[in-house]
Amino acid sequence: MTKKPDIESILGATASKTFLGLKVCHDFDMINASSVFIGAKGATPYGNMGPFCQNAPDAIRKAIGYMANNIDRYNFDIGGPIFPKGSKPAGDYGNLPFSETNFSENRSVIRATVAKALKAGAVPIVVGGDDSVPIPMLDALADTGKYYTILQIDAHIDWRHSHMDEKLGLSSNMRRASEMAHIKQIIQIGARGIGSAHLDDVQDAQEWGAEIIPADDVHLYGITQIIEHITPGANIIICFDVDGLDPSIVPGVLARSPGGLTYSQAIGLIKGAASKGTIAATNFTEFLPESDVDGIGALTVSRVIAATMGVIARQNNKSK
């Protein structure tokens, strides 16, 4: 046999340009969704790097497209269909416009779109794009008047004051979050190896009160202790840089680092967060399709996002 088997034909898949075949939802005034997939090609890239993760939203959509006709099947990761009876489905907003010269406009577009989703009662799932994307998303949550806990999953802690004379880049998102009055708790999971953090970045994070839980501790002690750190009843923002996962399951990242989280640990953290509070917003960033291997990273990330949609759909649904 020289040709790879076609699983799409076995599952009766049809072409879909949206995530999981979800309905397009450009009009937030008409939306009736529990969450919404928002593609963000980038926000504030460094120097000549440009939007190096700009193809991620479409690659992630494509990776799970073959399951669009099977969205009602039992998902063992979350104990039932993604959208159980009585719950609202998710929607797909499409991709936001991106300017390679006007980074302020990129941030404004992300902020405004997230704010509209929140106002419409849909949890934004912002899919990037580099890890500067969370900054305007986090800023938009200030408009709600609520306080938030950030659960960050990442190989890096992202507490740089600035890098390459840029304060709003991918290495500074948690530093910027700490400066926002509505962010009251930051729990950071998955740091490992040598990354962007200087000694004073770690000290500043700890002095602020950020709880840094290296990947090694997750493997040694499990995720239960992490979930216990979340303030009961908290409004939770999940900031998920996919290099927080092990490169064996997501090789498509800029800086591969062995020892990352497993798929099950990631899903467990998301479900555990929802058990302690309410997931109010999420982002998934730093997937680099051009460095992926046989599409395995895109598949993994798409599956995590699908499970997250299911967890969010269950938050206010009595028939869990």
Note the pLDDT tens digit of each residue in 170-181. Answer: 999 999 999 999
Rounded Cα gap, residues 122 and 114, in angstroms: 9
Q: Tell the residue number behind the tokens 């986090």, with chain if given.
A: 138
Q: State the pLDDT confidence band at 13, using cuts at 50, 70 and 90.
A: low
pLDDT tens by residue, 76-121: 999 999 999 999 999 999 999 999 999 999 999 999 999 999 999 9
Question: Is pLDDT above 60 for 287?
Answer: yes
Task: Please report which confidence band the pLDDT of residue 31 belongs to, taking 50, 70 and 90 as the band edges.
Answer: confident
For residues 204-228, give the mean pLDDT.
97
256-286 pLDDT per residue, tens: 999 999 999 999 999 999 999 999 999 999 9
What value does the mean pLDDT take over residues 184-207?
95
Q: What is the pLDDT of residue 30?
A: 81
SS3 sequence of 154-205? CCCCCCCCCECCECCCCCCHHHHHHCCCCEEEEEEECCCCCCCCCHHHHHHH
| Separation CA 81–CA 99 (nearest Å) | 38
In our burial notation (b when 16+ CB lie closer than 10 A, e otherwise), range 53-87 reads: bbebbbbbbbbbbbbbbbbeeebebbebbbbbeeb
User: pTM for this one?
Assistant: 0.95
Q: Output the pLDDT for position 5.
A: 64
Element (H, E) at 91: strand 91-95
Rounded (10°) CA dihedral 101, 105, 110, 113: -140
Percent of the chain with pLDDT over 70: 94
The full set of domain ranges for the chain reads 11-315
Would you state the pLDDT for residue 47? 86
CATH of domain 11-315: 3.40.800.10
Residue reference for tokens 């500043």: 204
Range 240-253 average pLDDT: 98
* The pLDDT of residue 320 is above 60: no
Q: What is the mean pLDDT of residues 44-73?
A: 94
Report which of 136, 115, 130 is spatially closest to residue 52, judged by C-alpha positions.
Answer: 130
Mean pLDDT over 19-36 rounds to 92
What band does 319 get if pLDDT is binned at 50, 70 and 90?
Answer: very low
The residues near 294 (Cβ < 8 Å, ≥ 6 apart) are none
Q: Which residue has the higher pLDDT, 169 or 26?
A: 169
